[in-house]
Chains A and B, each alone.
Chain A
Amino acid sequence: MSNTGKAFANGKAFIPFITCGDPDLATTAAAVRAAAANGADLIELGIPFSDPTAEGPVIQGANLRALTNGVKTKHIFAFVREIRKEIDIPLVFMTYANVVFSYGAEAFLSACRETGVDGLILPDLPYEEKGEFLPLCHQYGVDLISLIAPTSEHRIAMIAREAEGFLYIVSSLGVTGMRNEITTDLAAIVRAVRQNTDIPCAIGFGISTPEQARKMADIADGAIVGSAIIKLLEKHGKNAPAYIGEFVKNMKDALR
């Protein structure tokens, strides 16, 4: 089992997303500690990008705040190197292809291994383009996480067969952000995945309440929450980590 897969060894997984540097890296560190201490099974760390085309307004705002405050990729690697001394759960980067490409894919992935980043999620790198980074991901032992969308249909088998770490199931059409209702037939998608792979499935996009998380966990192996956590950062700024800890605890309790 790859390191990211370990997130699913402890019952249904709860996966929070935090944008690095929103509002600063000290707050991100405190938020990561609070999430880990309250039952997060894996943490998705966002490296901010100027033009995050898969994000709704909430996470766009986090990206903008972090960049305005001057956070750079090299600062984020330094931050991960430090936080890794205290945190054992898998850490996965979520960013855009140009951030990796611009840093130099090999330099980026070797820094992932050196600092202890276990996986990489790039929403603008579909199956057809994964050759861009996959050989280097393998070389440095970083899982390149694949996404499956409500529109994937006959592509599910192809994506699932080659997936590694876990599969990120996108719950709904559109961009990230909280939704009152998720109407996609996710059970059918997970069934199609299961026919092709044994790796775990986590559902993300639009999940913000314990009830929604429980529903998703009934269908899949875990739930990913981004915008609801970023909202806490937007509202409480440097004081957000305590609220994030409480939120993570409620979500994880709902999955137990």
Chain B
Amino acid sequence: MSKGRFGVHGGQYIPETLMNAVIELEEAYEHYKNDPAFNRELAALFQEYAGRPSRLYYAAKMTKDLGGGKIYLKREDLNHTGAHKINNVLGQALLAKKMGKIRLIAETGAGQHGVATATAAALMDMECVVFMGEEDTKRQALNVYRMRLLGAEVIPVKTGTATLKDAVSQAMREWTSRISDTHYCLGSVMGPHPFPTIVRDFQSVISKEIKEQILAEEGRLPDVILACVGGGSNAIGSFYHFLQDKQTRLIGCEAAGRGVDTWETAATIATGRLGIFHGMKSYFCQDADGQIAPVYSISAGLDYPGIGPEHAYLHDIGRAEYVPVTDEEAVQAFEYLARTEGIIPAIESAHALAHAMKIAPAMPPEQIIVITLSGRGDKDCAAIARYRGEDIHE
């Protein structure tokens, strides 16, 4: 079995043109991940620039209202740029800089990863090009402007479904045409090895902090941790330091779109099967001939036909559970959190909230639920208003 495997999943299914680039990346990462100076520099960026550690907020009103388990929100939405994406990007941009790269390219769905990459590029004096599905540039017009404001070039991708998967394909194509000075700053725990491992490691700061914070607050580990899953970077970041704590249930919430019994869904574990795509073996939404399905979710960030290989493995061994959450459920949770706690979550994160709202009432009050709020919802307000029939445009 080749490198970077999680059970049968993972691997490096990419063109020969990119092989030396991922090998070079792996070697650099293996070196710098244990380099005290690199880690000091990254820790300082996390603290001084991104605003870490992010708060673990006790949602007292929500807890009382739902009348069950005690709910904590891991506030990744309070990070600089408004989402967990900055954790990975600061790590990869710093690594790319050490490798002598002068240019970052990235894919983006909701725009959060693109904004984070454009931000890190501005900070570190690097060029930045972001590929974004044309459909998503319309759904997330504000983020397109933010990226341009930060000095990045945004290239709308018109092929296929013109969403996240097409943006990933186009970023990979771009990388094969310009490798020597360019780092592909992949935004999730997917793609060829070593990306799933690198991104997980940089995002694992989330679970490291949750553990410290909950032990300080409650003196015990949480009973359940929930996070939304597209590729799965905030989820793996939230789960990682709890993988050995078998008493803590780990639940990933997938985007069911209009329902897992419809074609308009992006719930990979619920509806996909094993395949090989975008550099990895994992589960993918696909037809009987292995053609990748044109998935759908209201959430541009979860609108992806695959799932990271480590999640596929955690599903196989039963260590984590994966549940589908529909557009309507997510929108209701989005509105609920705004009214109940005065927090507007990203529509992606609202998928995790929605499932928490289903299970919390049945849990005894001494049990603890942690929900990762992967991002803030300002970017989604216009789209949700339109979903509710209000004609708002940015």
Chain A interface residues toward B at CB < 8 A? 49-51, 53-54, 56-57, 60, 67, 72-73, 96-99, 101-103, 123-129, 131-132, 146-153, 155, 159, 170, 173-175
Contact = CB atoms under 8 A, between A and B. Distances in A.
A125 B279 CA distance: 9
A149 B13 contact: no
B2 interface: yes
A129 B22 CA distance: 14
A128 B2 contact: yes
Contacts of B20: 151-153, 155
A159 B19 CA distance: 12
B37 interface: no
B13 A124 contact: yes
A124 B279 contact: yes
A157 to B, nearest CB: 14
CB-CB nearest 10 A-B residue pairs: A102-B290, A174-B177, A149-B17, A50-B291, A97-B276, A98-B290, A149-B16, A128-B2, A50-B292, A147-B16
Contacts of B165: 51
Nearest to A170: B17
Residue picked from A53, A147, A153, most chain B C-beta under 10 Å: A53
A60 B159 contact: yes
Interface in B168-214: 169, 172-173, 176-179
A50 B160 contact: yes
Residue picked from B15, B177, B288, most chain A C-beta under 10 Å: B15
Contact of A131 (B2, B18, B288, B289): B2
Contacts of A126: 12-16, 19
Contact of B16 (A72, A132, A170, A175): A170
Nearest to B24: A151
Interface string B145-167: 00000000000000110000110
A73 B289 contact: yes
Contacts of B322: none
A49 B15 contact: no
A150 B160 contact: no
Contact of A51 (B2, B3, B178, B277): B277
A146 B286 CA distance: 27
B263 to A, nearest CB: 14
Nearest to B13: A124
B111 interface: no
A67 B291 contact: yes
Given A102-B290, A103-B289, A173 B276 contact: no
Interface string B272-298: 001111110000101011111000000
Contact of A125 (B13, B17, B169, B274): B13
Contacts of B363: none
Given A51-B166, A51-B169, A129 B2 contact: yes
A103 to B, nearest CB: 7
Interface in B2-36: 2-3, 11-21
A129 B286 contact: no
A147 B15 contact: yes
A99 B12 contact: no
25 contacts: A50-B160, A51-B292, A53-B15, A54-B173, A54-B176, A98-B275, A98-B284, A98-B286, A102-B289, A124-B279, A125-B13, A126-B12, A126-B16, A128-B11, A129-B2, A129-B11, A131-B1, A149-B15, A151-B16, A152-B19, A173-B178, A173-B179, A174-B177, A174-B178, A175-B177
Contacts of B21: 151
Given A97-B276, A98-B275, A102-B288, A127 B169 contact: no
Residue picked from A50, A60, A102, A152, most chain B C-beta under 10 Å: A50
Given A54-B176, A101-B290, A151-B17, 13 more contacts: A51-B166, A98-B284, A102-B289, A124-B279, A127-B16, A131-B1, A147-B16, A148-B16, A149-B15, A149-B19, A151-B21, A152-B19, A170-B16
Given A51-B160, A51-B169, A173-B177, A99 B16 contact: no
Contacts of B172: 53
A175 B176 contact: yes
A94 to B, nearest CB: 13
Residue picked from A67, A153, A173, most chain B C-beta under 10 Å: A173
A112 B16 CA distance: 24
A174 B12 CA distance: 18
B291 A175 contact: no
Given A53-B173, A174-B177, A175-B177, A129 B12 contact: yes
B290 to A, nearest CB: 3
Interface in B116-172: 159-160, 165-166, 169, 172
Contacts of A128: 2-3, 11-12, 19
A240 to B, nearest CB: 23
A191 to B, nearest CB: 18
Contact of A98 (B15, B19, B276, B288): B276
B213 to A, nearest CB: 40
Given A53-B173, A101-B275, A123 B15 contact: yes
Nearest to B305: A51
Contacts of A159: 16
Contacts of B289: 72-73, 99, 102-103
